[in-house]
Amino acid sequence: MPGFSAAPPVIPIEGWRHVYSGKVRDLYVPQQPHPRGDVMLVVASDRISAYDWVLPTPIPGKGGVLTALSLWWFDQLRDIVTDHTVEAEVPEQVRGRSMVVQRLEMFPVECVARGYLTGSGLAEYRESGTVCGIPLPPGLEDGSRLPEPIFTPATKAEVGDHDVNVTFEQVADLIGREDAQRLRELTLAMYVRAHEIAQAKGIIVADTKFEFGRDVTGAVVVADEVLTPDSSRFWPADSWQPGHAQPSFDKQFVRDWLTSPASGWDRHGTEAPPALPDEIVERTRARYVEAYDRLVG
| Whether residue 159 has pLDDT greater than 70 | no
Q: What percent of the chain has pLDDT over 90?
A: 89
Question: Structural domain tally of the chain?
Answer: 1
What CATH number does residue 160 fall under? 3.30.470.20
In a domain? residue 166 = yes
Question: How would you classify the pairing of strands 220-223 and 130-131?
Answer: unpaired
In a domain? residue 86 = no
Longest dimension (CA), the chain: 59
A 10 A CB-CB count for 54 gives: 18
pLDDT number for residue 51: 87
pLDDT digits (tens, 9 = 90+) for 121-139: 999 999 999 999 999 999 9
In a domain? residue 69 = no
CA atoms within 13 A on the CB side of 252: 13
In a domain? residue 146 = yes
What's the length of the chain?
Answer: 297
pLDDT digits (tens, 9 = 90+) for 182-199: 999 999 999 999 999 999
In a domain? residue 257 = no
pLDDT digits (tens, 9 = 90+) for 218-261: 999 999 999 999 999 999 999 999 999 999 998 888 999 999 99
Domain, as residue range, for 109: 105-239
Residue 113 confidence class, pLDDT cut points 50, 70, 90: very high
* DSSP-derived secondary structure letter, 73: H
Mean pLDDT to the nearest integer, 136-163: 87
Residue 9 confidence class, pLDDT cut points 50, 70, 90: low
Rounded CA separation 89/102 (Å): 14
In a domain? residue 132 = yes
| Whether residue 14 has pLDDT greater than 60 | yes
